[in-house]
Structure 1
């Protein structure tokens, strides 16, 4: 892969989650690393185009199933920092490096907890292995029964745990008082319970820490990700150096000017194409008997680029447009069902970016047939990163016809699953006397089954693949990008939809105005171009977004 051995930032660097990354979309996705909800909840955030899956896991080992935060953190950091990983899709509107850093920070907190739980399991479990296995079997059976839709089966688990507890007390009382094995049997019954009480306290402390970070991110508290292991302090710390370079590579790939068009999925990372306006007319000399001055597509694009930089200015003192990002993009076509992408490589690529001379060549020469295409993009990041509006402009000249195409792409907010704060665990129960009424009671932050799950997983965290085989893992949708994988359409939000529709008209008019200026300067008759431009200026005010990438043929 291009730039595989490229060191983006020489020397030790302290990773920072600066203000640029503290946006609503960034913090919402980062908060998933600290969540303790059920892993199956992630399916709620999937959209029609991108589906995550929960792979692996043994039915007899459901006690090892990860929760949402554990699975999300591992999946994201493995996919975005793993050795030899596939190329990523840019995450517009967020700082993906900040999200990955929070995943690393959450993993670090859990590793600290798991080291204590592993010591407890060794002291109170492995030494008294028969008792440990017996208790684990009881909790596994209880987990199976609690997951059943049959109420009787669900109640059976609690009854089983109570019965085993009573049996354990009887055994403690009735066993002989002399000899090693009776006392060992007593210890094998009691030691795992003592270890469970000790583990419960550690798990509660960690849960409070994780939930405070979860809520702090969503409330805008500026919670930072602490990952000192990414800062090498000596040349021999190869793991820290590899992590530092992985984060630097992630930041460089985020700035790439190469994107991918996947049919009805639109440009990956920018969202589906909701509108398209084309101006195409013949190049006719303005004065009869004279020829037009020769010019190229790049001349028109350069004029459009200069005029788009003036979008923030207007005749009236109003809020108007925020400063947009105006960039030249190279778009590579991939299949609708493609599971991976391949970025351009070679001497014309440096740090994942195509060089200016190659961009200009593609703009002028690759307008028909196979190959990459050039687009000029103007991008607005609004709603604190929750809405990304991108208008893409391309200019083509075939024979005597000049075509200027403007397309609109919109990427909506991240799913509401990522924007929900933590809530106390409660349940409704019937009142003792007025049994027809209910009251809400608070549940412990860490339930007994959760303590057992965390303690059972802890010794296996040193080798994550084994844990993935036992409990399962989250498989991210491909081609993967943090932003578009869980983005929803903006059309259900009235103001977001208005912003997307309003941006099209001024951008289209600036593009046409700049193009007509170049045509006039080069002796082209612009009457037909002007008439067509006026027609499109009226058509763009149609307030209905369409599925422009779906051709009904």
Structure 2
């Protein structure tokens, strides 16, 4: 099903997107895979409903940075075997984010292979000296992380004292011969290895930061993931990755969404507005009966009219082409830790089949079970704003009710849209000491080189690194977009766009429903009067917490 999404030929570059006009949110989240910030930074992007957690490991020297932790968490959650169902990420392409996470991991693995060779030559062969230096760096890192500033100063002084002691030992060592040379090498070799490792780390850091900035600038090359291209029929690992990407794409296209109480529909945002039209079904002609019709007949007429929303009497730009789709909404608890998608003969590739959609629309209108909604979705602001108007039609006894609700999903948190900044320091000029100048520092600090070098030999088995250094746990039920989405109401124009969509959608839904009712012999006078009043009330819509019932 997903074979047409990207090219599986060996060495091919995966296109950045599967559809146009949804690049900003996708690129912003994809850039997180290349970042070198502290992993705790991502906690600032959490919203009130969805919280990430960062668990600490045994040694701070092994802790991951944001890009490493994000890439690992996203790959496990979205491609791991036996994973739970995912929430759709509207307004973006989650597969692209996963592909960049895979590409970033591959770049780091290439660096780690070089660092491992350096560690073996300059470290393992001189293991006592390596352990001595690592112990000093770990102690310094622990003291530097303490709240007491004096403890941090002690850590720096300790490192300096060990360096001075090492020089003294090299000069005044009483041993000669092979043992003497080995003891001297034990002190010097880890330092020489550190210098070589620093050059490797600096080159990789520049590459990762370039990709980070290119994504946020709207450019950049596609993510290279040759490990997703099976080399032969027996290549089980690559075939499993390819199938995982296919499953991810298919689940993104699913027509089943989940309603979680005050959280709204997961992935679409909270419900900010609700408008209802309900009246009795009375025959137009006395003594005659209404011609039989079903709720789906009304929905189908509304569906056809919504397809024409972008057409208007004036050449004023207006609506972009909306996505009009039948949705099955499944209820879950507000605090649900996971969701499950329906299975069976009525579901194919995560899509509920058409005949089952009609059955749910016509018969599951009261009591337990899933419900049917017609969704009209606008993706605006280059994918940063997703407006969804959900329409449902119910017929209970002699009353027909048309309900239109508004959902808005805002932009991803500003953390993900921030470009990298060079590391600089302001210093006084040598001669004109009253003037200052800025000097660019290396991207990789000395302690960062040590961290990367000690992690490198263990990168072939990430669970060990998770245990030693900690990991990032993603909020559940997880979807890439809604987990880090801000409210659109803080942005004036985004809020205006969300509220302006309500009146035209409501008008089209009412007009289409009236036409069906009139064709089937229903007296629409009361419906028309009620619709006029409702359209008058919606002239000045304002966002509310509709799902937070004040009972």
TM-score, normalised via structure 2 length:
0.96
Aligned to 1:513: 511
Aligned to 1:192: 190
Aligned to 1:364: 362
Query: CA–CA distance in 1 between the matches of 2:541 and 2:393?
Result: 25
Query: Is the contact between residue 2 and residue 249 of structure 2 (CA under 8 Å) also seen in structure 1?
Result: no
Query: CA–CA distance in 1 between the matches of 2:507 and 2:435?
Result: 64
Query: Is the contact between residue 114 and residue 455 of structure 1 (CA under 8 Å) also seen in structure 2?
Result: yes
Query: CA–CA distance in 2 between the matches of 1:441 and 1:424?
Result: 10
The Cα of 1:9 is off from its aligned counterpart by 3.8
Shifted more, 395-404 versus 440-449: the winner is 440-449
The Cα of 1:42 is off from its aligned counterpart by 0.3
Query: Is the contact between residue 52 and residue 475 of structure 2 (CA under 8 Å) also seen in structure 1?
Result: yes
Aligned to 1:233: 231
The Cα of 1:293 is off from its aligned counterpart by 0.9
SS of match in other structure, 1:20: coil
Query: CA–CA distance in 1 between the matches of 2:17 and 2:545?
Result: 37
Gaps of 5+ in 1: 1-6
Query: CA–CA distance in 1 between the matches of 2:379 and 2:160?
Result: 56
Query: CA–CA distance in 2 between the matches of 1:331 and 1:230?
Result: 33
1:295 aligns to 2:293 (yes or no): yes
Shifted more, 122-131 versus 430-439: the winner is 430-439
TM-aligned CA distance change 1:426 to 1:8, over 3 Å: closer
Query: Is the contact between residue 79 and residue 85 of structure 1 (CA under 8 Å) also seen in structure 2?
Result: yes
Query: CA–CA distance in 1 between the matches of 2:431 and 2:202?
Result: 33
Aligned to 1:451: 449
Aligned to 2:19: 20
Query: CA–CA distance in 2 between the matches of 1:237 and 1:278?
Result: 56
Query: Is the contact between residue 141 and residue 157 of structure 1 (CA under 8 Å) also seen in structure 2?
Result: yes
Q: Once the two structures are superposed, what CA deviation does each residue of 1:400-432 show, in whole Å capped at 9, x if it has no partner? A: 110000000000000000000010012456788
Query: CA–CA distance in 1 between the matches of 2:125 and 2:446?
Result: 22
Query: Is the contact between residue 285 and residue 525 of structure 1 (CA under 8 Å) also seen in structure 2?
Result: yes
The one of 471, 474, 477 aligned to 1:476: 474
Aligned to 1:331: 329
Shifted more, 230-239 versus 485-494: the winner is 230-239
Q: Once the two structures are superposed, what CA deviation does each residue of 1:317-340 show, in whole Å capped at 9, x if it has no partner? A: 110100000000000000000010
Query: CA–CA distance in 2 between the matches of 1:176 and 1:421?
Result: 54
The Cα of 1:12 is off from its aligned counterpart by 4.8
Aligned to 1:163: 161
The Cα of 1:526 is off from its aligned counterpart by 1.1
TM-aligned CA distance change 1:284 to 1:549, over 3 Å: same
Query: Is the contact between residue 16 and residue 221 of structure 2 (CA under 8 Å) also seen in structure 1?
Result: no
Query: CA–CA distance in 2 between the matches of 1:386 and 1:538?
Result: 30
Query: CA–CA distance in 2 between the matches of 1:326 and 1:51?
Result: 31
Query: CA–CA distance in 1 between the matches of 2:434 and 2:283?
Result: 88
Query: CA–CA distance in 2 between the matches of 1:19 and 1:296?
Result: 37
SS of match in other structure, 1:314: coil
Query: CA–CA distance in 2 between the matches of 1:12 and 1:132?
Result: 44
TM-aligned CA distance change 1:123 to 1:74, over 3 Å: same
1:525 aligns to 2:523 (yes or no): yes
Query: CA–CA distance in 2 between the matches of 1:182 and 1:503?
Result: 80
**Number of residues of Structure 1 aligned to a counterpart in Structure 2:** 545
Shifted more, 423-432 versus 208-217: the winner is 423-432
1:124 aligns to 2:134 (yes or no): no
Aligned positions of 1:94-133 closer than 5 A? 94-133=92-131
Aligned to 2:421: 423
Aligned to 2:278: 280
Query: Is the contact between residue 8 and residue 245 of structure 1 (CA under 8 Å) also seen in structure 2?
Result: no
Alignment RMSD, CA only? 1.8
Query: Is the contact between residue 124 and residue 192 of structure 1 (CA under 8 Å) also seen in structure 2?
Result: yes
Aligned to 1:55: 55
Shifted more, 205-214 versus 284-293: the winner is 284-293
Query: CA–CA distance in 2 between the matches of 1:435 and 1:46?
Result: 45
The one of 306, 315, 319 aligned to 1:317: 315
The Cα of 1:177 is off from its aligned counterpart by 4.8
Aligned to 1:139: 137
Query: CA–CA distance in 1 between the matches of 2:257 and 2:504?
Result: 25
Query: Is the contact between residue 12 and residue 233 of structure 1 (CA under 8 Å) also seen in structure 2?
Result: no
Query: CA–CA distance in 1 between the matches of 2:461 and 2:301?
Result: 57
Query: CA–CA distance in 1 between the matches of 2:469 and 2:430?
Result: 40
1:31 aligns to 2:43 (yes or no): no
1:491 aligns to 2:489 (yes or no): yes
The Cα of 1:527 is off from its aligned counterpart by 1.4
Gaps of 5+ in 2: none
The one of 386, 405, 408 aligned to 2:406: 408
Query: CA–CA distance in 2 between the matches of 1:432 and 1:490?
Result: 51
